[in-house]
Amino acid sequence: MTTNGDDENLSVWIDYNRDGVFAATERVLERLAVTPEPQTTAGNVTIPLTAFNGPTRMRVRCIYGTTYAQVDPCVAVTFGEVEDYVINITGGVEQIVYAWTGGSFLCCIDNTPTVTANNIAATTTYNILVSSLGCTDTEDITVYYGTNEVTLEVQTDANGDDISYEFRQEGTNTLMYYVGPNTLPNNAVVTNLNCLPDGCYYLVVMDAGGDGIVGGGYVLREGDGALRRIIDNRRDIFGNGGFTSGSVSQIAANEGFCLPLSDDRLIYTSCDKLDWKVSPCGGEFVVANENTDVSAEYGYNNANSGYQMWWYAPNGGYSFKRFQSHNTTNGLPASATRACHFQLNAWLGNQLQQNTLYNVKVRGRINGVYNNWGPACRLIVDDVLAQCPRTKLMDLPSNQYLSCGQTRTIGTTSLVHARNVRRMNANCNWVNANRYQFRFRLPAENVVILKTSATGQYWVNTNGLACNKTYGWMCAPASTTAAPGAWLLEPPTP
């Protein structure tokens, strides 16, 4: 190539990937300005094996002036010349052409396999047409827009890098979100926030090692507000729950949850109770909170209105739903709230098993139309433990004696209350615990204070406790069986 002006800088580019851009890596020859002119420049160019076969544009440009140490292939200049040529490349690779269409907010769509969708405000479907050597294929790709935040909290084990999880759409099995292996740390509690559109989904948690999460598990919650639980498969202090074995943990039949959650829920005293009984004398009642819209159908649309309760094992297997309309008999008097009461195992087949952790949730049905499922609670049937029921400090939010998490003055008239408990004897009579023992503990100071209620009371005073201290506590009811006064839960040493 020969230039005939004064102080001409020269460069040559070949658009190897045929994307219409002369990149810096595609500059194949250059010459800085020299004098005198004319000046002839020659060079050998090695075509990379990754270049596309076929007609390809080559640009030659010279620019006057010594300020252009490297010539730009496109910038406007006052003096110079540009010449484009077509060369034919062989021995490279066949070009794959990508064409994106549909919707808005796509960035950088010209002949590229990867694009960016910005500022979308609704679920949008795009189409990509791929062609090469006369063959074409097309695929729709949907970008989902959602405002439902969900938070997955995972308790990992010593092999956190084995754990992965995904959200899929119910019905279509469309993958919505995926976190692969080698992402989560070892022996940690990891919280990940995800965002999903309105709709129904299921969660799959996987372990590449095939042994579950040793000593660990997970809980899926709403991502904001009350952080209500959607699936609760944590390993608790009593050894219940958790993803304890196998390669996959998910609810049976690819079922899961619908967003947004409804406000249908269990009443406070039915949620997270781990000592339900089904014997003697039949099962206890798990109770749903009243939905006023369901109650309003009583007497008008009895057969098509009521509640559905769902018991399921978070790791798969057991899954059972039961609907009770206003017409369903359950041993209680007919009323607008009778359908709220579900007697455990009062149905044929699909019996809840002893000492198995289930999740349970409820939804209302109004004249044949179901609400979305509400939040999940934990439930265990344990006839043995039901004879020695666990208690705790009074934690009912609306109870006048609320004690859990509260502040008290010190003195004989300042009281701390337990949640009173009862058991059913062989004669099918409920028997209340007659005394309660409270343990107040300061682990860092190796302090344990035991206080026992008077017979017939479920409270003690705070006399003897120290000011400005936060105590851990344990509360145990006294037996009312053959050995009255025997404690059902022995307080441990500090």
Task: Judge whether residue 487 has pLDDT over 60.
Answer: no
pLDDT tens column, 166-206: 999 999 999 999 999 999 999 999 999 888 999 999 999 99
Structure confidence at residue 91 (pLDDT): 92
Give the span between the Cα atoms of 198 and 209, in whole angstroms.
34
pLDDT band for position 296 (50/70/90)? Answer: very high
Lowest mean pLDDT among 29-43, 232-246, 254-268, 403-417: 29-43
pLDDT band for position 110 (50/70/90)? Answer: low
Which domains, ranges and CATH numbers included, belong to the chain? 2-89 (2.60.40), 97-143 (no CATH), 148-259 (2.60.60), 273-386 (2.60.40.10), 388-494 (2.60.40)
Lowest mean pLDDT among 139-148, 334-343, 390-399, 433-442: 139-148
Structure confidence at residue 66 (pLDDT): 56
Pairing of strands 369-370, 436-442: unpaired
pLDDT band for position 482 (50/70/90)? Answer: very low
Task: Judge whether residue 109 has pLDDT over 80.
Answer: no
CA 478 to mean position of chain CA atoms? 41
Q: How high is the mean pLDDT of the chain?
A: 90
pLDDT tens column, 115-171: 887 778 888 888 888 988 778 999 988 888 888 999 999 999 999 999 999 999 999
Task: Judge whether residue 443 has pLDDT over 60.
Answer: yes
Structure confidence at residue 460 (pLDDT): 97
Measuring CA to CA, how many Å separate 467 from each of 26, 371, 402, 408, 462? 77, 49, 19, 9, 10
Task: Judge whether residue 340 has pLDDT over 70.
Answer: yes
Give the span between the Cα atoms of 163 and 217, in whole angstroms.
11
pLDDT tens column, 380-422: 999 999 998 989 999 999 999 999 999 999 999 999 999 999 9
Q: Rounded mean pLDDT of 346-373?
A: 97
Structure confidence at residue 33 (pLDDT): 62
- Which token pair is 106? 């796509």
State pTM to two decimals.
Answer: 0.77
